[in-house]
Structure 1
Amino acid sequence: MTERLADKVLSEQKSTTIRYDRDRVEYPAGPVLPLYAAAEQAPHDEYRCLARLRVLSVRYSTFNGLTEADARSDGFSSLEELLGTLQHFYGRIMPDDTVCIYEFALERTATKRKTLAWNVVLQSASV
């Protein structure tokens, strides 16, 4: 996730993430996922792990079935902003394509953000 969106997670303004893959249905790898963040201009294989997220639920929607409530829980001010960001990040998404919505809760493992962050290098950019 970009640093801007990760900051919204850490400030609890974002409680979902919407994932899309043209060739398959997304599903979380486990009940607790690391929150990785990358600077906007950083190489795609360099991410910082900031926290852990407990997956509370997983649901599916069509792209055109997303709502204003989905946009707000995902940290966006409007549905239009959410849809534009998803298309920018994933490329063209057709109206009937399936997206996956993970609802999560931030797991507090430390009191200061600096103690949560460390640098990691991933083998894949599919975060």
Structure 2
Amino acid sequence: MKSVQIRKFLLIDSAYKSRILRGDKVTTIRYGNYEAEPGSEVYLVLTPSDTAVAKIRITGIERKKVRELTDRDAKLDGFRDVRELLGELNRIYGELYGDDEVTVISFEVTKRFKDGIPLKWLKGLNYREPEEIARLYLENQERLNLNRGTDFIMRRIYNEGLGRAVRTFGPKRVREALLKTYHALYGEGII
């Protein structure tokens, strides 16, 4: 069986968002072999919107056979018991059997985002957060020489958050300003 590397983000169904952010769900159980470095931080991205809502630290990876899953595994994953957990796994992956392997990925939320960040924006910014781009812009604006429109957008992101900037200037202008600023910062060797 091929293994899946978790490097920059972990996709999770939006139905689990509130359970995760409350701390009721601290694992995700995936069919197959998943690998991640314990201690690594990745973005938690909701599907189907493909929006990052938090940053999480992977605290553990454990491989098990389906028949080895316990009520404790179910509770850590936000379910009442192993029967409810298996019902959900079968719904997602199709019928699983006792010898099928799953990976239990343990994590903790390290940072919540007030405004979700579209995954395609994170990819375009090489997984830098918009607020970090705005902060670096303000710290280095004299070296970057960007236009007033970009300056207004970066200041809005820094002072009021990404969501407010998007509501004020529109997603297309904000994304363009972030990319322009990222490339200017990169060109100057700042990032």
Q: TM-score, normalised by structure 1?
A: 0.77
**C-alpha separation between the residues in 2 aligned to 1:72 and 1:82?**
9
Where 2:74 maps in the other structure, the secondary structure is: helix
Q: Which has the higher contact order (CA 8 A, sep 6+)?
A: 1
Q: What residue in structure 2 maps to residue 27 of structure 1? A: 35
Alignment of 1:1-16 (within 5 A): 1-16=12-27
- Look up the equivalent residue of 2:70 and give its one-letter code: T
Whose helix fraction is larger, Structure 1's or Structure 2's?
2
Bigger Rg, structure 1 or 2: 2
Computed over aligned residues only, the root mean square deviation of the Cα atoms, in angstroms, reads 2.1
| 1:1-127 to 2 correspondences below 5 Å | 1-21=12-32, 25-28=33-36, 31-38=40-47, 42=48, 46-108=49-111, 110=112, 113-115=113-115, 117-121=116-120
- 2:34 match: secondary structure: coil
Structure 2 alignment gaps of length 5 or more: 1-11, 121-191
User: Structure 1 segments of 4 or more deviating over 6 A?
Assistant: none
How many pairs align?
110
The Cα offsets for residues 67-118 of structure 1, whole Å up to 9 and x where unpaired, read as 000000001112111101011111121211111011111012x5xx533x12
| Structure 1 unaligned residues grouped into runs of 5+ | 122-127
Deviation string for 1:43-86 (max 9, x for gaps)? xxx41110111011111111011000000000111211110101
